Structure 1
Amino acid sequence: MFSLQTIFGSGKQFYDLLDEAAVAAHDSTEALYEMLKSPENYHGLDAFKLARQRERTASDKINHALVDNFITPIEREDIESLGSALYKIPKQVERFADRFALAKHRLDGIDFAPRAAMLEQAAGVVVEMVKELRHMRLEPMSKLNERLRSIETEADRLILELHREIYSGRMDAADMFLLKEFFEILEKAIDRCREAGVVAYQIVLKNS
């Protein structure tokens, strides 16, 4: 007997579109790491704009596909939740990049690169988790989830160190406010990766 999924299609396009969204998010974090690794050699924000546009395009396609398709490979609410979580990653990254480009002359001596590296690693794990959705294997997804959790924990530790510097009393109020804003944006970007990973992990828990 043929299933409805066989008749109406396997829904592979949803996995492909989620892959596109995850890769675009990861690309934005790679661009940020490159920017913060060598800020004096980095000019322009085109890489961030392009990644964000690719994310928007993938998000729009996902929304249209949900309207046009009767059958989906996983619950519609899960597709929407994961698509929304992925969309927020490059949005947060671009926010940091825009502000950094304007304020980098005031940020001499502040090394954001190690934190950006953690963000890039987190986004890379999210790409793996989204790809793993096709297989619905709990053990590999659990390992990826633990990797993402470990990265988040280490990133939190690094950001806490930066907060200690902020409140050390060696900075004036304006610099404290500026750095606090940047640290919070970076922290939120890592949280967005974690949120996307949690959604992917929960999808596998429900369907494995």
Structure 2
Amino acid sequence: MFSLQTIFGSGMQFYALLDDAAAAAYDSAKALHAMMREADRQPALDAFKLARLRERAAADKISRALVDSYITPIEREDIEALGSALHKIPKQIEKFADRYALAIQHLGHIDFAPRAAMLEQAAAVVVQMVGDLRRMNLDGMTALNEKLRSIENEADRLMLELYREIYSGKLDSLQMFLLKEFFEILEKAIDRCREAGVVAYQIVLKNS
């Protein structure tokens, strides 16, 4: 006699699709960090567009699979929540890249690389967390969640230092605006990684 899993499938394709979405988010963060390390920091937007296209393709496949699949390895609303959280990461990074391309002539004196490196680290942890969903190992997921929280806390600390510089009186109004605008976009991108990590952690907490 055939089991329901044999007839309808195990739903394990959802893990692969979520992996694809997380990898696209990481590639976007990696591209941004690489761009910020370059001496001329000329924006090459193709990498960000490609990452977004990959993430959208994964999101579309997840949506279709949720309609077509009778069985899912975790609850449908959890798959939707994680897919939505992952979607927001490359979207936020692309927002930074697009605006950076428009304002690059005013940004030569600002070093974005350290915070872009933190964003890349955060996105890498998200990739690990999504990949570890198959194992539902609470201890391992808790450790990754704490690592992501630590990155977020450090980003918050750096933002406080940034505000001290903004309000120091040493900058003109345009410099103040750009400094605040672009670093807040980066901070939100790290927050998006944190949000995705929280969803992954809660999934394991619920199913362990």
TM range (shorter): over 0.9
1:99 aligns with 2:99: yes
Residue identity in the other structure for 2:35: M
Structure 1 residue 103 displacement after superposition? 1.0
Residue identity in the other structure for 1:76: R
Aligned to 2:157: 157
Q: 1:52 to 1:176 in 2, by over 3 A?
A: same
How many correspondences in the alignment? 208
Aligned to 1:59: 59
Residue identity in the other structure for 2:181: E
Structure 1 residue 57 displacement after superposition? 0.5
1:61-140 superposed matches below 5 A: 61-140=61-140
Structure 1 residue 159 displacement after superposition? 2.2
Residue identity in the other structure for 1:157: R
Distance 1:102 1:40 in 2: 15
Aligned to 2:36: 36
Q: Deviations 1:6-61 (Å, cap 9, x if unpaired)?
A: 54221111000000000000000000001111150534210000001000000000
Distance 1:39 1:86 in 2: 30
Identical residues among aligned pairs (%)? 74
1:26 aligns with 2:26: yes
8 A contact 2:138–2:204 mirrored in 1: yes
8 A contact 2:35–2:44 mirrored in 1: no
Q: Deviations 1:125-168 (Å, cap 9, x if unpaired)?
A: 00000000011110110111111111111111122212221111
Distance 1:2 1:187 in 2: 51
Q: What TM-score do you get using the length of structure 2 for normalisation?
A: 0.96
Aligned to 1:188: 188
Residue identity in the other structure for 2:33: Y
Aligned to 2:178: 178
Give the 4+ runs in structure 1 shifted more than 6 A: none
Structure 1 residue 184 displacement after superposition? 1.1
SS at match of 2:40: helix
5+ unaligned residues in a row in structure 2: which ranges? none
Q: 1:140 to 1:126 in 2, by over 3 A?
A: same
Distance 1:97 1:156 in 2: 21
Which stretch has the larger CA shift, 155-164 or 144-153?
155-164
1:169 aligns with 2:169: yes
Distance 2:133 2:26 in 1: 17
Q: 1:2 to 1:191 in 2, by over 3 A?
A: farther
How well do the aligned residues superpose, as a CA RMSD in angstroms? Answer: 1.4
5+ unaligned residues in a row in structure 1: which ranges? none
Q: What TM-score do you get using the length of structure 1 for normalisation?
A: 0.96
